[in-house]
Chain A
Amino acid sequence: MTTPATDRASVLDPLTLAKVANLSLKARLVVEGVLSGLHKSPHHGSSVEFAEHKEYSPGDDTRHIDWKVYAKSDRYTVKRFEEETNLKATLVLDASASMLYQGSGVSKWEYAVTLAASLGYLMLRQSDAVGLALVSGAGTSFVPPRSNSGHLKALLDALERARPAGRVALGPALETLAGRLRRRGLVMVVSDALDELPPLLRALAHLRHQRHEVILFQVLDRDEIEFPFEGLTLFASLEDEREVLSDPVVVRRDYLARLAAHEATLERALRAHEIDRVRLVTSTPLDKALVAYLAAR
């Protein structure tokens, strides 16, 4: 007999989720799974101006339950405030071909799409406005932030239609996005962040300069972290025509050193700009990502 905790864990496992074809259902499973496990919501309303009521859901602060409405209608209703309802979040999804890499589990792309859908679902469920920017080699497609309930479908449709392609200059794309996001909000970047760092860091710094909250969800495959290959191998780039014949045993140490240096540079720069980085391996349960988001909120 399984406990609720193990049920939740199995639902949040990426491989389990991969068997669910419907993205909306995936997102709901993730979000509900996460919220059901939280004893206390990290969701704090910071605004004081009342804006509207919403039905209570687990995770809402019980201090904001409107007891008068409860007395009248026998329903738990939570008061929402102006600042909170005006939060605009933008999901930026790296749709470069490198995100198609798939090791022994789900691909980075599938993981990232499920993560983005879950985040979108969670935010819309809390009446936040959510937008989506898909950055691929073919260009950037943008879904403006909305908070109405019908917006979830638009987001999920865009995610399902997206196909990773080519190389992506994520830094310039974020610079462009920074120009469009006039009001401060939350920018969540989902990428493997394996590109050249300076342009990306400049763009992230630009977003912070505009007082956006920025979270970087870095999605990596375990193969990229451990480089477990054996035997003479012809490595071919997913993004372009580059190939290299290499003996992984010989190259491993140098490769891992370069990756570690890259990540250390990234970590230092993000910390300097107070940007949260959530490092996710495609085998990591998705609640880790959502909890990170909720903590940031």
Chain B
Amino acid sequence: MPTFLNPALLYGLLGLSIPVVMHLIGRRQGKRVAFAAMDFLLASERRLAARRKFVNVLLLLARLALVAAIVLAVARPLLQAPAVLATGPVSLVAVIDRSLSMRAEVNGSPRFDRLKSALLAEIDRLPEASEVAVVVGDTAAKRLTPGFVSPREARVALVAVTAGYGRAEMAGAVREARAMLDNARHASRRLAVASDWARSSWEGFVPPQDIDFAPIDDGAAAPENRALSALALAPGEDREVVNLVAGHWPPSEAALTLVAELSAGGAVAARQLITVAPGQTAGQAQLALPAGLDAHEPLSFALKGQDAVADDDRRLVLPEPRAPVRVYAVDGEPAATVLGDELLYFGAAARAASNPTLALTIVDGTALTWPSWQGQDVVLLANVEHPDPAQAQALKAYVEEGHGLFITLGRKVDARAWNEALGSLLPGSLEAVESGPTPARLALPAADDPVVAPLATLARKEPLELRLEALYRVRPAADARTLVALADGRPLLLMRAVGKGKVALLTTSVDRDWTDLPMRPCYLPLLERTLRSLAGALTRPFPRSYLVGERVAFPAEAEAPLSVATPDGRALTALLGAAGMSFAETAIPGLYRAADAHGGRYDFVVNIDPRESDLRPLTGGPAKLARSTAAGASVPGAGRGTDLSLLLALVALAALVLESELARRR
């Protein structure tokens, strides 16, 4: 008995009434002609009546066959090979993929429903006394039955499964299923996997060679899909902006323009167009955040329009003011007079009430020892003569752990000592002090780098010039990046990644000793961005945002019991473990409200894993897996479940030819 991948389309069989109605109506139609030689005509008709009746019946049957064959072909019947049916009891592990991509609608129904039906049919076809286990491919593989159960029980368990919102780790699910088969009762063992075979879940998967591996596919082409795949915060002109990344799969031949909407409090606050270039799968745009946001009210970003998967077109975020970068500034020239202090200008700007983005701690750089900089994001060494070996060692470890080091120079700097102490950290070795041109025109070799974005904006208006009396000649390290240089190519600001951290070097002074840079409008943004980049926080993800299935760890100040209200209205409690409070029931996207008994609020949002939006199948698809499996020596019955669509299409074609011929002869 065949099963159908698109059973809903079988309603098309109602179309069988059309040929019948045509047959009945067509019997009495025809133009009227008054004729004389009726005797001959009537005699001919009497002789031909029987034949015509026969032809009419054949014509009706041909039309019925034509309609039925077309309907059945599009319903995609699969026929179980007799050889499989004839085998003895089977131990089957049925694996179903319930990742988000399975929610994609094809021909009006979700692929999950169709593939689940096919997997149920696989169970229904099992010989007597077979046993079945069900494994669900989810964010983590999950056994739906404790072990092998009867096909009837497995069926009940499988029927209750619905499509999820997460990314399935299908290789893990197959491993889990394979392990279950080791404890199977019957010699004939089979692993049936129903999936859309999306490459994000399957790429690199190697099918097991020692069992009957039966990939189940609905044969549908992957529909086009687009998604809002990433959101990140970035510094803007006056306040942070959101970097929007929208994806479209497969790549379009023409440029696509997608419309993204930002909604706050249920009302659309802004719209932005995102262009995806031809042949690309992603496009980017920036959207300014509105002012005065409530950290507990989510913002919704959504793409307008409909596509195969609706759930990945929307993302929620919780706005939260960025935390200030904690800067540990070592003042190498703390002057007795205010005007002579190395950090006079920088300190003043950083402490301004309108600039909450820097938290500055200044220490005396001339002291023999510096207080600890633990807990700080960036260490700034301003015109420091040189670090001693212990300090240099500690700074290396500090940077490699993932922190930032910013070095500015001056007349007190001992270049040779610096090169010896921190040569492996410096973006370039210090050579000698040189005088700069006046005025010094600046160039931006890395104008696309967000650190120098304010300078790039200014450069579009007028040439960047400053007074530069002196600077160090520096030989840049091979992996250093020159962000700002003089017009003659001498580096002014360099940056280099070291370990998990970064080191920046300003080849002139940070005060007005050697330059009037502190008097320029770009001074503070340039330093601030350099510091923020060194702290790894130039762009930042939205805080308190998680992916479906991800475990949420609450901050230490959260106190048990911590209640969590899920987007679908359930009230759950966070678990208290050794590592603190956590919550793992993040199976659906949306806003989760969390609060402890003392009024502490720890709301968070859960979004779709962007990898699930790419619906394109594994290269070669399940057919490749089936062929691969069939090549194995101990794989009986691989490649079964013959798709009868092509055969039915041929039947439809034959019926069409027969219908045309009969209609002509009738």
A266 within 8 A of B: no
Within 8 Å of chain A (Cβ to Cβ): is B461? no
Measured in the bound complex, the distance between the Cα atoms of B39 and A288 in whole Å is 28
Contact of B35 among A99, A235, A262 (CB under 8 A): A235
- Pick the contact of A101: B35, B41, B48, B664 (CB < 8 A): B35
Do B30 and A233 touch across chains, with their CB atoms under 8 A apart?
yes
CB distance from B32 to the nearest CB of A (A): 5
Q: Write the A205-234 contact mask toward B (1 if CB under 8 angstroms, else 0).
A: 000000000000000010010000101111
Within 176-231 of A, Cβ neighbours of B (below 8 Å) are at 192, 194, 196, 221, 224, 229, 231
Q: Does B598 contact A (CB under 8 A)?
A: no
The interface bits of chain B over 5-43 (1 if a CB of A lies within 8 angstroms of the residue's CB, else 0) are: 000000000000000000000111111111111111111
* CB-CB nearest in chain B for A256: B40
Pick the contact of B34: A101, A192, A196 (CB < 8 A).
A101
CB < 8 Å: which of B28, B34, B38, B47 contacts A245?
B28
Indicate if the CB atoms of A250 and B37 lie closer than 8 Å: no
Which of B26, B31, B665 lies at the interface centre, i.e. has the most chain A CB atoms within 10 A of its CB? Answer: B31
A-chain residues with CB within 8 Å of residue B34 when the two chains form the complex: 101, 235-238
Nearest chain B CB to A95's CB is how many angstroms away? 13
8 Å CB interface, A245-263 against B: 245-247, 249-251, 254-255, 258-259, 262
B36–A238 CB distance below 8 A: yes
Q: Within the complex, what minimum Cβ distance (angstroms) separates A258 from chain B?
A: 4
In the assembled complex, how far is the CB of residue B25 from the closest CB belonging to chain A, in whole angstroms?
Answer: 12
Decide if A244 is an interface residue (CB 8 Å cutoff): yes
Q: Tell me whether A242 and B48 are in contact in the complex, defined as CB-CB below 8 angstroms, given that A194-B36, A229-B33, A236-B34 are known contacts.
A: no
Contact B40 A258 (CB under 8 A): yes
CB distance from A46 to the nearest CB of B (A): 39
Task: Return the CB mask of A86-108 against B: 1 if under 8 Å, else 0.
Answer: 00000000000011110000001
Interface string of A6-28 (1 = CB under 8 A from B): 00000000000000000000000
Residue of B29, B35, B39 ringed by the most chain A CB atoms within 10 A: B35
Assess A235 versus B33: contact at CB under 8 Å? Given A250-B52, A251-B45, A255-B44: yes
The answer, yes or no, to whether B412 is at the interface (CB within 8 Å) is no
- What is the bound-complex CA distance between A239 and B38, given in angstroms? 9
Task: Determine whether the beta carbon of B40 is less than 8 Å from that of A246.
Answer: no
A residues contacting the other copy or chain, number (CB 8 A): 33
Find A250's partner among B26, B31, B36, B48 (CB 8 Å cutoff).
Answer: B48
Interface status of B666 (Cβ within 8 A of chain A): yes
Would A258 and B33 count as touching, CB distance under 8 A? no
Contacts of B30 in A (CB 8 A): 231-234, 245
Determine the residue in chain A with the shortest Cβ distance to B52.
Answer: A250
Task: Indicate whether A251 sits within 8 Å of B48 (C-beta atoms), given known contacts A192-B36, A194-B37, A237-B38.
Answer: yes
Q: Cβ of A239: which chain B residues have Cβ within 8 Å of it? A: 36, 38
Given contacts A244-B45, A246-B45, A250-B665, contact A255 B40 (CB under 8 A): yes
Interfacial chain A residues near B44, Cβ < 8 Å: 246, 251, 254-255, 258
Q: Report A-chain residues with C-beta under 8 Å of the C-beta of B665.
A: 249-250
Please give, as numbers and ranges, the residues of chain A lying within 8 Å of B32 by CB-CB distance.
233-234, 236
- Knowing A250-B48, A254-B47, the reply to whether A242 touches B33 (Cβ < 8 A) is no
Of chain B, the residue at the smallest CB distance from A257 is: B44
User: What's the nearest-Cβ distance from chain B to residue A246, in Å?
Assistant: 5
B661: min CB distance to chain A, Å:
13
Q: A163 to B36: give the CA distance in the assembly, Å.
A: 16
- Please name all residues of chain B whose beta carbon is closer than 8 Å to the beta carbon of A251 when the two chains form the complex: 41, 44-45, 48
> Closest chain B residue to A196 by CB distance?
B39
**Shortest CB–CB separation between residue B603 and chain A, in angstroms?**
76
Closest to B32 in A: A234
- Give bound CA distance, A98 to B33, whole Å: 13
Could you say which of B26, B31, B41 contacts A244, with CB atoms under 8 Å apart? B41
Residues in B whose Cβ lies below 8 Å from that of A108 = 36
| Interchain CB contact under 8 A, B40 and A250 | no
Q: How far is the CB of B28 from chain A (nearest CB, A)?
A: 7
Of listed B31, B33, B36, residue having the most chain A CB within 10 A: B36
CA distance A100 to B37 in the complex (A): 12
Asked whether, in the complex, the Cβ of A98 is within 8 Å of the Cβ of B36, the reply is: yes
Would you list the 7 A-B pairs with minimal beta carbon distance, nearest first? A232-B30, A98-B36, A254-B44, A101-B36, A258-B40, A237-B38, A235-B35
Give residues in A with beta carbon < 8 Å to B.
98-101, 108, 192, 194, 196, 221, 224, 229, 231-239, 242, 244-247, 249-251, 254-255, 258-259, 262
Binding site for A on B (CB under 8 A): 26-45, 47-48, 52, 664-666
